């Protein structure tokens, strides 16, 4: 650095900020403290509201499955007996599937195989299943046609 400052350096030295007064420092500190207190208050208010909302939602969803003082024991229902004249080619009933499943997995497989091997008619028609239907280009599906 040079011992003698050039004119630009002297001009830049003149732009140095002056020292802050004590009153200005106190006002700045007061405003910063107020804004921090407001932010803390807002944070805690939102936290409490959010916690209450979360607790309400948990109580709502968990409370639906809870007991409300009613007897929730298993209901005893007599199952109807199968009609005596059931034809041999009739489809198995839900009761037959439940009994087969209760016996063993092999009994269930046997019942499913017997059902699958049964002939469902001379020409079973395949059903096409699509996730999306083709667009109706002629506009036949539009309601309110003239």
pLDDT of residue 52: 95
pLDDT of residue 76: 60
Residues of the chain with pLDDT under 50: 146
Nearest alpha-carbon partner for 92 in 79, 82, 102, 80: 82
Reported as a single tens digit per residue, the pLDDT across 79-116 is 555 556 556 667 778 888 899 989 998 998 988 888 77
pLDDT of residue 50: 95
Residue pair 95/80 in contact (Cβ under 8 Å)? The answer is no
Query: How many angstroms separate the CA atoms of 46 and 52, rounded?
Result: 10
pLDDT of residue 89: 63
Beta strands, E only, the chain = none
């Amino acid at each position: 650095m040079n011992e003698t400052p050039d004119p630009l350096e002297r001009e830049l030295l003149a732009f140095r900020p002056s020292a802050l007064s004590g009153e200005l420092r106190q006002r700045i500190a007061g405003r910063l403290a107020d804004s921090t207190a407001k932010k803390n208050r807002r944070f805690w208010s939102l936290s409490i509201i959010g916690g209450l909302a979360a607790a309400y939602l948990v109580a709502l969803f968990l409370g639906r499955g809870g007991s409300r003082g009613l007897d929730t024991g298993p209901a005893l229902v007599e199952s109807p007996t199968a009609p005596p004249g059931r034809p041999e080619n009739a489809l198995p009933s839900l009761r037959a599937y439940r009994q087969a499943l209760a016996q063993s997995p092999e009994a269930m497989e046997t019942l499913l195989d017997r059902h699958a091997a049964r002939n469902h008619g001379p020409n079973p028609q395949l059903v096409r299943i699509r996730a999306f239907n083709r667009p109706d280009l002629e506009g036949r599906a539009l309601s309110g046609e003239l």
